[in-house]
């Protein structure tokens, strides 16, 4: 459905990283049940490799929320775990979400020059290779694989097109474009997405997702 807007909720993963927002397992379950009742399409239930407790919380959500539809809904939500682009993280993500009726593995790798050089200590060719390799590895477990180019907002667009084309070839079904550090203005981010839609080969096969931050204080509530 090309005109359907999917809601991907990351309260239990990125939301919990906010100061003071840490939740107990019981609180996470309550949030997950509520999201399912609201009809959220995808629940990113956590980061399984972060800790044994996080893995168990995701697993419980997969079993209890991700296996049976909430009242009034035909399907349970997709249950997703984040994973860095390495086999250990992906193994743990699959261990956590595999009991859901509709499991998803969401893997990510930085693509901005500053992150590649100083955080990953990898050159661009290595990043392309690792991204495609780890998407393919996740695909061995799960048909539904999401890929995020971390810090896409500060990435070179032409390099981003290459990375995204390669992960589509490797089996990615959703491409999530994050403005990880809240660097771009709305117009800049819109232009980045427009360029991706125009220049990434195979983009028509994928769901395109966005993950925005407001570090620059662009939103004003009245």
Give the pLDDT of residue 221: 59
pLDDT at 2 over 70: no
Q: What is the dihedral of CA 16, 191, 176, 129, to 10 degrees?
A: -120
Give the pLDDT of residue 97: 98
- Residues 54-66, mean pLDDT to the nearest whole number: 97
CATH number, domain at 76?
3.20.20.70
Number of domains in the chain: 1
Instruction: Dump pLDDT digits (tens) for 70-116.
Output: 999 999 999 999 999 999 999 999 999 999 999 999 999 999 999 99
Among candidate residues 102, 93, 177, 162, the one with its CA nearest the CA of residue 132: 162
* 13 in a structural domain: yes
pTM, rounded to two decimals: 0.95
Q: Alpha-carbon distance 89 to 64, whole Å?
A: 23
Instruction: Dump pLDDT digits (tens) for 182-221.
Output: 888 889 999 999 999 999 999 999 999 999 988 777 776 5
* 158 in a structural domain: yes
DSSP per-residue string spanning 129-191: HHHHHHHHHHHTT-S-EEEEEETGGGS-HHHHHHHHHHHHHHT-SEEEEE-TTS-S-HHHHHH
* 194 in a structural domain: yes
* 2 in a structural domain: no
Per the CB < 8 A criterion, the answer to whether 132 and 166 are in contact is yes
* 167 in a structural domain: yes
Share of the chain above pLDDT 90, in %: 86
* 219 in a structural domain: no
Expressed as residue numbers, the domain containing 125 is: 8-211
Q: Which of residues 4 and 70 earns the better pLDDT score?
A: 70
SS3 31: helix
Instruction: Dump pLDDT digits (tens) for 174-186.
Output: 999 999 998 888 8
Instruction: Dump pLDDT digits (tens) for 144-158.
Output: 999 999 999 999 999
- Residues 147-171, mean pLDDT to the nearest whole number: 98
pLDDT at 222 over 70: no
pLDDT grade for 18, boundaries at 50, 70 and 90: confident
* 220 in a structural domain: no
- Residues 52-59, mean pLDDT to the nearest whole number: 95
* 216 in a structural domain: no
pLDDT grade for 51, boundaries at 50, 70 and 90: very high
Give the pLDDT of residue 219: 73
């Amino acid at each position: 459905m090309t005109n359907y807007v999917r809601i991907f909720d990351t309260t239990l993963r990125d939301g919990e990283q906010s100061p003071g927002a840490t939740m107990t397992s019981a609180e996470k379950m309550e949030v997950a049940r509520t999201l399912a009742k609201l009809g959220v399409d995808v629940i990113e239930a956590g980061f399984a490799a972060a800790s044994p407790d996080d893995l168990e919380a995701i697993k419980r959500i997969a079993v209890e929320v991700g296996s049976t539809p909430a009242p009034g809904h035909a399907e349970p939500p997709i249950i997703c775990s984040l994973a860095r682009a390495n086999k250990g993280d992906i193994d743990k993500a699959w261990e956590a979400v595999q009991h859901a009726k509709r499991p998803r593995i969401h893997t990510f790798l930085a693509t901005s020059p500053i992150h590649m050089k100083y955080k990953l200590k990898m050159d661009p060719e290595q990043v392309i290779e690792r991204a495609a390799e780890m998407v393919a590895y996740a695909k061995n477990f799960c048909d539904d694989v999401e890929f995020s180019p971390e810090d896409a907002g500060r990435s070179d667009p032409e390099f981003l097109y290459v990375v995204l084309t390669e992960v589509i070839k490797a089996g990615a079904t959703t491409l999530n474009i994050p403005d990880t550090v809240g660097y771009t203005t709305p117009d800049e981010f819109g232009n980045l997405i427009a360029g991706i839609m125009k220049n990434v080969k195979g983009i028509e096969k994928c769901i395109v997702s966005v993950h925005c931050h407001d570090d620059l204080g662009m939103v004003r509530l009245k």
